[in-house]
Structure 1
């Protein structure tokens, strides 16, 4: 979008927050870059230039605006709506792969050479993988500086910097303030020292594009919560996290203009990854206006969208975990699926301490489940086979589900496993892989909703009708499911 100068100028002049994260405005006279909705007086048109990423702005020598804080914008919705190489690379960079494995590791995951990856990212984003990762390190450093009492040396290494010098230089270059000045300004601005009073806990706000309807989003997560791994407590969805350097607990609460997030991490190096996974879980980088405008073109869907706009797709923090849970949930009630999953957690999950609530375990990873005894599962024999085959494929790497997955290839590999039909494959594509066009025309709730609204009720006819909803059919599913008075569609009390 950054190449459409006229459209970008209109967005900046109207301070349109819908475009935050889509592009960034760099001001040639001040050498500052802003989000489109910056509250400052818009610069003259001849002094504006536009970039597709904060990293590109920084690489061109611009520093972040101190008023609108463009580094805290929602992420571009493009990376969650696409499955091409650039989109998959951006999702992996957001999950910290470059910091952990370097650019060669990123390229290997995507099946390309480092030169090919660098060329594609530079062409579309104006910055290569190292610059993009550096911008994320700067943002992580800012969060740690402003919300914790960690010594600056610990902040530097937790944010992924290789040295104190590079940390200091980057913070000064990006924010035009020293790390100490950033911390002082933050304490004066908010007077909020919650992160300091609670050692090991980081409190922050997760931005999103309005509108956001929390009902089905948090309702679904709370109603399907696996005891010990997830819970709804005091107005927050809480769950355990398995992270590259340790364990964590996330607490997420809906607010009118943000999601309140509290993270308890055993290793602060996991902060950026934990934030990224929480945003992915809640689908916070979606563009609800684009989605809802498309769905409103169907006169039968329009009343549902108008009644409760901004529905998101509840996702997962771990694709392999969700695949296992999808199999456990085949042809059983929500309560039964939770019971089956809880038994797996008790028998094979890794214990975790939670001083604030009732979380007890990490969900077992495929390696921990690879040796489970099928006879110990209170499931039909055919479903035992489905589960053990899935776990084996995940454990030996023949099936890879994650942010780097090619959606069509993942579907094909899932269909090749015994017991995987369209419903299971599509619900995994929707909630684990994040395909915004995943569709479940054979789902019982979908068929009931379709019949009530006068939509075609048979899977084939409904699929044909839903062609007009593409590429947002996964969101249409949320609107149709929400017509049923089921706990998954209501924000818990």
Structure 2
């Protein structure tokens, strides 16, 4: 938690770099705000600071209708560094307690219910279920503000099985009725369009230029200010287009999705893909101190892919060949085995192939060595059968997959912050330009160092 003195200075300056890192509650109004709130700053004697929206709400404060604390980017510092808690938060955010019980969540985590409840009490002062309901209510509040979806559809999209349960939970956790929030907002789009914020700066041009040479036509699209792609989450299928809006410190994301119940995890996956929750000021301050000879690109983010399986397939296809050839192979795989996607534009679009479809094919249409086709089929079969397929370190046991493939997939498929691609040719070349270079000192941000070195190499050419 930041000191009260730093929070005081940040809120008076409305410094966007602190957005999501703390929240300001006003004792005289009972409202809590983001540090960038446009309202007249309250007197310091009437202010209490909280490190998360959850703890502010637990203390009895309502979210501000002007700055909308539900839109603030999550802070990695708030989410914590304890592996079990971080994984529990991720699973809850993906709907684990909407579709299952606390006992089932604990079974997936390999811990007891009592221990999980203690973790949440110590960290947030609430139970896991109360945390889940609050996050669902905040997401519903964002939809009420930013879309014109009917309240019943918003309840459904936020994970509530009935309108009555939604109204009760929303009133309890937000302090207002859903219809009161809708009246106050008085805006929104008839399309499903959301604003996803980040802490500036954001080096969009670097992210865009990373996407362009790896773009898979029919599955992805990109232009000067936009990136979009086809997506699938469970049985829900659709696509999104994210438009960079630097003046608003965020992206406007338009979505088409066949099942709105998948909307919360889909939005969180889009945030991960665009690396919207990174605190690049903190990351780059660490890198500047540990690798001072490297000129850093401000606001550099990790350009992701939709999921770890896709990242693994693309990494396997890219082994020992040029970027252009790898892209062509991936395009052939997508257009041959990917499911065609119907959308309102009438364009030919495709989903990335599932593990089952790749495993069921002989892949003879791919112009590459039979050994690599066998590796791809082996990987798809293992991913489909495994109980923990997202443990990329376990992939190394599969014939044909080495550390570079597993690490590259984790960097792009999980947005893992601490992957060092020391075996990458570009990283090795860039590292030679630095004196007395030890990548270990850059932990826990070695993924960002890897990206910075690639940028350094491209600029030097």
Residues 317 and 330 in structure 2, CA contact (< 8 A), matched pair in contact too: yes
2:160 is matched with 161
Write the deviation string for residues 332-380 of structure 1: whole angstroms up to 9, x where unpaired: 1222112222222223222211333745211112122222215444222
RMSD: 2.6
The CA distance in 2 between the partners of 1:124 and 1:279, in whole Å, is: 23
The CA distance in 1 between the partners of 2:318 and 2:457, in whole Å, is: 19
2:108 is matched with 109
How many equivalent residue pairs? 458
Q: Is 2:213 aligned against 1:223? A: yes
Deviation at 1:152, TM superposition (A): 1.9
Deviation at 1:83, TM superposition (A): 6.7
Instruction: Pick one of 286, 291, 296 that aligns with 2:278.
Output: 286
Residues 63 and 173 in structure 1, CA contact (< 8 A), matched pair in contact too: no
Deviation at 1:266, TM superposition (A): 1.2
Deviation at 1:383, TM superposition (A): 1.6
The CA distance in 1 between the partners of 2:353 and 2:171, in whole Å, is: 42
1:250 is matched with 240
Secondary structure in 1 aligned to 2:456? coil
Secondary structure in 2 aligned to 1:370? helix
Deviation at 1:186, TM superposition (A): 2.5
Q: Is 2:461 aligned against 1:482? A: no
Secondary structure in 2 aligned to 1:171? helix
2:19 is matched with 20
2:264 is matched with 272
Alignment of 1:162-177 (within 5 A): 162-177=161-176
Larger RCO (alpha carbons 8 Å, 6+ apart): 1
Residues 70 and 139 in structure 2, CA contact (< 8 A), matched pair in contact too: no
Deviation at 1:106, TM superposition (A): 2.7
The CA distance in 2 between the partners of 1:484 and 1:55, in whole Å, is: 43
Q: Is 2:197 aligned against 1:207? A: yes
Alpha carbons of structure 1 residues 206 and 473: separation in structure 2 relative to 1, 3 Å? same
Deviation at 1:261, TM superposition (A): 0.8
Secondary structure in 1 aligned to 2:126? coil
Q: Is 2:426 aligned against 1:445? A: yes
The CA distance in 2 between the partners of 1:242 and 1:323, in whole Å, is: 17
Alpha carbons of structure 1 residues 80 and 217: separation in structure 2 relative to 1, 3 Å? farther
The CA distance in 2 between the partners of 1:209 and 1:359, in whole Å, is: 35
Deviation at 1:145, TM superposition (A): 2.4
Write the deviation string for residues 165-224 of structure 1: whole angstroms up to 9, x where unpaired: 23223434455543333223333xx5xx5x32xxxx311211000111012212222321
The CA distance in 1 between the partners of 2:5 and 2:158, in whole Å, is: 37
The CA distance in 2 between the partners of 1:82 and 1:348, in whole Å, is: 39
Q: Is 2:139 aligned against 1:140? A: yes
1:71 is matched with 70
Alignment of 1:77-476 (within 5 A): 77-78=76-77, 82=81, 84-187=83-186, 195-196=189-190, 201-233=191-223, 235-256=225-246, 257-298=249-290, 300-302=292-294, 304-305=295-296, 308-356=297-345, 358=347, 360-401=349-390, 410-411=392-393, 413-451=394-432, 453-455=433-435, 462=437, 465-476=438-449
Secondary structure in 1 aligned to 2:360? coil
Secondary structure in 1 aligned to 2:256? strand
Secondary structure in 2 aligned to 1:483? helix
Secondary structure in 1 aligned to 2:48? strand
Secondary structure in 1 aligned to 2:238? strand
Residues 283 and 314 in structure 1, CA contact (< 8 A), matched pair in contact too: yes
**Deviates most, 68-77 or 100-109:** 100-109
The CA distance in 2 between the partners of 1:79 and 1:88, in whole Å, is: 14
The CA distance in 2 between the partners of 1:39 and 1:147, in whole Å, is: 18
The gaps in structure 1 that reach 5 residues or longer are 457-461
Deviation at 1:247, TM superposition (A): 0.7
The gaps in structure 2 that reach 5 residues or longer are none
**Deviates most, 265-274 or 320-329:** 265-274
Residues 339 and 351 in structure 2, CA contact (< 8 A), matched pair in contact too: yes
Alpha carbons of structure 1 residues 227 and 390: separation in structure 2 relative to 1, 3 Å? same
Deviation at 1:80, TM superposition (A): 8.0
